[in-house]
Amino acid sequence: MDVNQAKQEHLLALKVMRLTKPTLFTNLPVTCEDRDLPGDLFAQLMREDPSTIKGAETLMLGEMLTLPQNFGNIFLGETFSSYISVHNDSNQVVKDILVKADLQTSSQRLNLSASNSAVAELKPECCIDDVIHHEVKEIGTHILVCAVSYTSQFGEKLYFRKFFKFQVLKPLDVKTKFYNAESDLSSVTDEVFLEAQIQNITTSPMFMEKVSLEPSMMYNVTELNSVASGDEGESTFGKMSYLQPMDTRQYLYCLKPKPEYAEKAGVIKGVTVIGKLDIVWKTNLGERGRLQTSQLQRMAPGYGDIRLSLEVIPDTVNLEEPFDIVCKITNCSERTMDLVMEMCNMRSIHWCGVSGRQLGKLTPGASLSLLLTVFSSEQGLQVRCKLPEATF
């Protein structure tokens, strides 16, 4: 929709056209059997039709391209391109022509003009052309404001504007879920899994060129969207990564704190920033779109004041034969702890050593490794072992 602000006749004419890639021409083939009344007439007409593919006339897609017949849809993440032309329709020479293009969104106004300098003069039947580009980063109503100012040969300063209103739609629906990894060695773990559900909510298929997770400075990320096949991994979605309209695809990532942060107790707690998803796709004839989510946040599991974890334990031990394990105690609080270790035997697990001994003081964020000895009095798989209690 365009609205002319000025009602007077101007010497210059402004035309604005959106630049999009063409589409493949489609036709509706009409066929019949040879014994029917038309006989070979329909087949002959399709063979003579220049828009059909020779030898495959019954296919709906042809070899020709169709130019856009309307403004079309604009989706978030795509690049909006427009051709602006100012033509001198009069028989006069106009001077000091300045063409300005602004894009008004719900939150800001952007200047898209390639040059803000005025053209000295424009002769009759001549034109000024410009192509503007803008990566759309907001949904909702957008207004392209094109303003033209010039001076007539009599020195009169003239000015007019045109407004082009369009809607930016949402192409993808992205949902995320976090899962804390379960561990047999301790009640909590620093690993976290991110599941991203991406749904195509447009009316045309998409080729998913890239879906990656850019982690924050505290994490390393491992993509779990491929399976080992020879030297290279093969995508779980196959070689042709197309996402049909209203289809949903799930991506999985594993994040693990970097060693320098994992060793510092209390750093990864509360609300932590995980990173952001980077999604790149292609649609009609290679038109590219890109979306980046905002920073994804997660509530880290609470460790309390003291974190006690099992670092080393053998897989198999002999009955009633002592073996060593390594426990790690970390001070997650903001004060110094004076620790005392108490050992509590279970029905099948027995500790070797002195219970109630002093472990000394542990400063905030510091860790202490303990070498302990234990033996089992029963055969079979021991599912659970009660770790020594550290009191303060």
Asked, for residue 388, whether it belongs to a domain, the answer is no
The pLDDT assigned to 194 comes to 92
Asked, for residue 385, whether it belongs to a domain, the answer is no
276 and 349 part of one domain: no
The pLDDT assigned to 133 comes to 92
CB atoms within 10 A of CB 376: 19
248 and 353 part of one domain: no
Asked, for residue 336, whether it belongs to a domain, the answer is yes
Average pLDDT over every residue of 64-78: 80
267 and 317 part of one domain: no
Q: In whole angstroms, what is the distance from residue 259 CA to residue 274 CA? A: 16
81 and 53 part of one domain: no
Average pLDDT over every residue of 111-136: 88
Q: Residue 255: which residues within 8 A CB-CB, separation 6 or more?
A: 191, 192, 193, 194, 213, 215, 219, 220, 221, 222, 274, 275
Q: Is the pLDDT of residue 43 over 50?
A: yes
Provide the 3-class DSSP secondary structure of residue 309: strand
Confidence grade of residue 176 (pLDDT, cut at 50, 70, 90): very high
205 and 274 part of one domain: yes
The pLDDT assigned to 246 comes to 92
Query: Number of folded domains in the chain?
Result: 4
- Domain residue limits at 357: 306-376
Q: Do residues 140 and 105 lie in contact, with contact meaning Cβ atoms separated by under 8 Å?
A: yes
Asked, for residue 5, whether it belongs to a domain, the answer is no
Asked, for residue 389, whether it belongs to a domain, the answer is no
Where does a domain end: 134, 169, 204? 169
CA atoms within 13 A on the CB side of 268: 25
Confidence grade of residue 287 (pLDDT, cut at 50, 70, 90): confident
Residue 224 to residues 134, 217, 221, 233, 290, Cα–Cα distance (Å): 34, 20, 10, 10, 22
Where does a domain end: 271, 299, 327? 299
Where does a domain end: 147, 169, 191? 169
Q: Residue 117: which residues within 8 A CB-CB, separation 6 or more?
A: 98
Confidence grade of residue 1 (pLDDT, cut at 50, 70, 90): very low
**Helix (H) or strand (E) segment spanning residue 44:** helix 41-48
pLDDT digits (tens, 9 = 90+) for 10-19: 889 999 988 8
Rg (CA), the chain: 35
88 and 116 part of one domain: yes
Q: Which of 223, 226, 217, 220 has the alpha carbon at shortest distance from 195?
A: 223
**Helix (H) or strand (E) segment spanning residue 149:** strand 140-151
pLDDT digits (tens, 9 = 90+) for 334-345: 788 888 888 888
- Which region among 50-59, 149-158, 244-253, 364-373 has the lowest average model confidence (pLDDT)? 50-59
Q: Is the pLDDT of residue 48 over 80?
A: no
Which letter, b or e, does each residue of 330-339 get, where b requires 16 or more Cβ atoms within 10 Å of its Cβ? bbbbeeebeb
Asked, for residue 2, whether it belongs to a domain, the answer is no
CATH number of the domain within which 310 lies: 2.60.40.10
- Name which residue leads in pLDDT, 267 or 14: 14
Asked, for residue 384, whether it belongs to a domain, the answer is no
Asked, for residue 1, whether it belongs to a domain, the answer is no
